[in-house]
Amino acid sequence: MENVGAVQTKGYSQQELKELKDFYLDSLLGDTLPFWLKEGVDREHGGYLLMRDADGSLIDDDKSVWFQGRFATILGMLYNEYEQRNEWLEAAKAGVDFLKKHCVDTDGRMFFMMTREGKPLRKRRYFFSEAFAISAFAQVAKASGDEQLAQEARDLFRKCMSYYDGEISLEPKFTDERPGKGIGVPMIFLNVAQQLVDTVGCSYAESCIDRFIDEMRAFVKDDIACVMEVLSPADDIIDHIAERTCNPGHAIEAAWFILHESIRRRGDDELQALGLKMLDYMWERGWDKEHGGILYFVDPTGKPVQEYWHDMKFWWPQCETIIATLMAYQLTGDEKYAQWHQMIHEYTHRVFPDKEHGEWFGYFHRDGVLANRAKGNHFKGPFHLPRMQWVCYKLLSDQ
């Protein structure tokens, strides 16, 4: 990877692609996983202890429900798709068992944050805890051949669709005065449905995929070349500060979920064009031409956004953009995507890795100055980084 920092004017050579493939796998197996597996599984109370300082020492022993599901998903996925390592399956089960034993409230909804022992600290209105639990259940069910767990994954998916359709109502954060909908739910559940179908099978989830994509399509606004995060129920842009705010890394993640669907269907020109368009729009809006990297929030009208940390560089939008640009290149052979991939890969691997203790820092100021040295907290943990390394390795293996 000697020339990965240089500006590429042509596509990658076969040799370069081979080196990239080895790099992603080596980083995953030699750095990311060892960092988290070293002390990440709680041998005493089950689940994971993931809130970690730069050196891996524990900052807090609370347990994020999202991350019980997310880490179990990654571990189950690697067991299913790379190698049947018992250590991975045992660790994946630790997360799933903790989720099932402690993280479901009496009303069937899942909590958001637990004590180390498994007592609930906080529950939120959203059902993303459930989304990541479905993925974890599905991956571990496939890995262990546990049909009962597979059915729990399918049942939980169906329950989430009831929340989604409003059949089971969740307490709203806002009044009904200005109704809106986000791209987040259809995009996350597109990914969940893909995993559920591809691991243990679920005809109901399969039947939802077109619906999720159709709903996401409405957020892609060709007239302003932008993927919105929020729309009115009638699919219009809402001209207020919060609703105007776009999240390029999130939209680019949505783009590769759709590109992945075109791959699942062994070629779908319309979906491929949709995913590429979303990537094109949000690379243009999100790439920081001054310092490199993907900005967190942008307003398509150029007005200030509400958040003040909007121009910071977080690890996860960079990860999602590394995946999306590589997937676009693999699908199209278009040199533009090779160049974008090289730009984001080089920027990210120059800025984010912790050369002293391994794994990545998560939070930099716009200009690349480290802002927060935590490796794990309520929102950062073993998910976006290992998923990027694994998905990129697989993309480069499939060619």
Distance CA 87, CA 73 (A): 14
Contact set for a copy of itself, span 52-91 (CB under 8 A): 53-54, 59-60, 62
Q: Binder to a copy of itself among 207, 307, 333, 334 (CB under 8 A)?
A: 307
Q: Which of 175, 234, 289, 399 binds a copy of itself (CB under 8 A)?
A: 175
Amino acid 76 reads: G
> Could you identify the residue written with the tokens 């049942």?
155
Closer residue to a copy of itself, CB minimum distance, 210 or 307: 307
Shortest gap between Cβ of 46 and a copy of itself (angstroms)?
17
Write the binding mask 179 to 218 for a copy of itself: x where contact by CB under 8 A, - elsewhere. Answer: ----------------------------------------
Tell me: does residue 232 bind a copy of itself (CB under 8 A). no
Spatial separation of the C-alpha atoms in residues 371 and 215, rounded to whole Å: 36
Residue number, 166 or 304, with CB nearest to a copy of itself: 304
DSSP secondary structure, 234-279, as one string: TSPPP-SHHHH-B-HHHHHHHHHHHHHHHHHTT--HHHHHHHHHHH
Cβ of residue 253: shortest distance to a copy of itself, in angstroms?
Answer: 19
Q: Which of 8, 262, 377, 389 binds a copy of itself (CB under 8 A)?
A: 377
Q: Give the nearest distance from C-beta 88 to a copy of itself in angstroms.
A: 28
Q: Which of 115, 21, 28 is nearest to 68 (CA)?
A: 115
Binding string, 108-127, against a copy of itself, x = CB under 8 A?
-------x---xxxxx----
| Shorter beta-carbon distance to a copy of itself: residue 181 or 336 | 181
Q: What is the DSSP string of 305-356?
A: PS-SSTT-EEHHHHHHHHHHHHHHHHHH--HHHHHHHHHHHHHHHHHSB-TT
Q: How far is CA 319 from the centre of its chain?
A: 9
**From CA 344, how far away is CA 287, in angstroms rounded?**
9
Q: What angle do CA 168, 149, 384 make, to 5 degrees?
A: 80
Q: Is 37 in the site for a copy of itself (CB under 8 A)?
A: no
Q: From residue 260 to residue 299, what is the string marking binding to a copy of itself with x (rule CB under 8 A)?
A: ----------------------------------------
Rounded to an integer, what distance in angstroms lies between the CA atom of residue 312 and that of residue 351?
A: 13
Q: Which is nearer to a copy of itself, 260 or 366 (CB)?
A: 366
User: Quick check: 236 binds a copy of itself (CB under 8 A)?
Assistant: no
Question: Does 348 help bind a copy of itself (rule: CB under 8 A)?
Answer: no
Tokens 């990545």 found at: 360
With contacts defined by CB under 8 A, how many residues of the chain interact with a copy of itself? 42
Contact 296, 309 (CB under 8 A): yes
Residues at the site binding a copy of itself, with contacts judged by CB under 8 A: 51, 53-54, 59-60, 62, 115, 119-123, 173-175, 177-178, 240-241, 303-312, 314, 362-363, 365-367, 369, 371-374, 377-378
